[in-house]
Amino acid sequence: MKLVPLERIKLKSYSKINEAWLQEQIANNPSILGLGDLELHDRERRQIGGGRLDLLLQNDDQRYEVELQLGSTDESHIIRTIEYWDLERKRFPQYQHIAVIVAEEITSRFFNVIGLFNGAIPIIAIQVAGYSQPDGISLVFTKILEQRNFGLIGEADEGSSEITDRNYWLTKVGEPSMALAENLFEIILSAENSSQFYFTKLYLGILLNGQRSMVVTVRPRVNFIIVGVRTAQQEDWTQRLEEDEPNYWDYNITRGNYRFRFHTIESIKKATVFQEFVKQILEG
């Protein structure tokens, strides 16, 4: 078979391409970034104090603030990316926010700037390469940096989120979702510990030996719940879930956890592999 070399082009100097064109391609198909099953929430999103965020992408409980740059990264673009991320996370604290910078070249200066923040900002760097084809142009996105830490230095982490109560969540999502969350806890915990969970403004967690744990968390939504199981990706469990788990689930590399979505109590009861998986993680 004949090997056909690809001709790489510089997108910044290509006459028919600009950042608006690149933005359009990603907006039409966010999955090309390689960040999972994301949806477009907004484009050219106006920011407080001026400026516009190129793209805001999201899934159930995460938002990605995406800034694009043809050519090489520079300090001003890096700072703008972080600034927009910070503004969005303060406006909508109910979501997990991740900054994303997409550029043709991720320079050493970028890593120097990010290093000043001591790894405390969740930022992903993606390098985009363009290749000339007979019928058009191909884009290849390569993840250069994936930062999994969250929050600014000195800021409380998710494990110390403000404690609240059932009424807070009841007002927010309604009785059906709260009943769904509580039934899940009763199923995965032993009968004598079925009430051993706590409420924060971001999630519901489990008390293990009287201590707040984030191994398993539940984020109620109006019509469903999202269950997070924090653990390294495990090939044997992943295979079993792919074969036998009928409900929606995935593995979130950025947060390092499995995520499950349930809409009814019956769907939880039928998810026997999920139940077995969670119980093993809690016991381990």
pLDDT in tens, 60-83: 778 999 999 988 888 888 889 999
Last residue of some domain: 98, 124, 146? 146
Looking at residue 29, its pLDDT comes to 92
One domain, residues 49 and 113: yes
The beta strands (E) that lie in the chain are given as 7-9, 39-46, 52-58, 62-72, 96-105, 123-133, 136-146, 197-199, 204-208, 211-220, 225-230, 249-252, 257-262
Same domain, 260 and 178: yes
Same domain, 198 and 114: no
Instruction: Classify residue 215: in a domain, yes or no.
Output: yes
Enter the DSSP assignment of 163: B
- Shared domain for 141 and 170, answered yes or no, is no
pLDDT at position 284 over 70: no
233 near 266, Cβ under 8 Å? no
Q: What is the CATH number of the domain that holds 67?
A: 3.40.1350.10
Residues 94 and 192 occupy one common structural domain: no
Note whether residue 1 is domain-resident: no
The answer to the question of residue 234 being in a domain is: yes
Last residue of a domain, one of 92, 124, 146: 146
Is the same domain home to 98 and 209?
no
What CATH number did the domain enclosing 228 receive?
3.90.1150
In a domain? residue 151? no
100 within a domain of the structure (yes/no)? yes
Rounded Cα distance between 114 and 167, Å, is: 41
Using left for φ > 0, alpha for ψ between -120 and 50, and beta otherwise, residue 143 falls in: beta
Q: Answer whether residue 214 is part of any domain.
A: yes
What is the Cα–Cα distance from 175 to 29, expressed in whole angstroms?
A: 36
Residues 12 and 107 in one domain: yes
- What band does 161 get if pLDDT is binned at 50, 70 and 90? low
Model confidence at 197, in pLDDT bands (50, 70, 90)? confident
- For 188, the domain range is 158-283
115-124, 150-159, 215-224 — most confident range: 215-224
Q: For the chain, what is the domain count?
A: 2
